[in-house]
Amino acid sequence: MCAADNSVGVWKRNIEQTKYASANPNPITSMTMVREAVAGGLKIDTTGHRQDGTQIHYTVTVIYDGKDYAVSGTGSVFDTIAITQIDANHFPSVTKKGKYFMRGMTVISKDGKTMTITNKGTGADGKKTSFKVVWDKQP
């Protein structure tokens, strides 16, 4: 496990650069994620809104040990997340809820200004899907 974690900080979802493979592209209109370092992992607090006006506000504290950690709050498409750390800029993950099962990779750009999360797996409807979410670091 690495001591450095370049995913820590405040990130705003880049709606224009985020891409979904499904027929329902980008259901999110706005989203902010605060990633705070904790011993051996991360506390994630996410807020935002969906296209249908539904609010999103969920939190999770996860240790980088690959075990499932419960997500609390409203609006998350997954109810558990497991994350490991390869280095300061690369974080594989697994998110789950019912039929929803995604394997993801979070990558922080070399300049530290962009975080890209790619996921492939099965959506809540049981169909194969993939998406790429781009985040911009906030000052």
Q: Which residues contact 122 (CB under 8 A, 6 or more apart)?
A: 99, 100, 101, 102, 128, 129
pLDDT at 34: 98
Cβ atoms of 126 and 116 within 8 Å: the answer is no
* Averaged pLDDT score across all residues of the chain: 94
- Tell me the whole-structure pTM to 2 decimals: 0.93
Going by CATH, does the domain composed of 9-137 fall within 3.30.70.2200?
Answer: no
In 3D, which of 60, 58, 95, 52 has the Cα closest to residue 75? 58
Share of the chain above pLDDT 90, in %: 89
pLDDT at 3: 67
In the chain, the amino acid numbered 24 is: N
Q: What are 76's strand-pairing partners?
A: none
For the ranges 23-37, 102-116, 121-135, which has the lowest average pLDDT?
A: 23-37
Q: Residue 26's pLDDT band (boundaries 50, 70, 90)?
A: confident
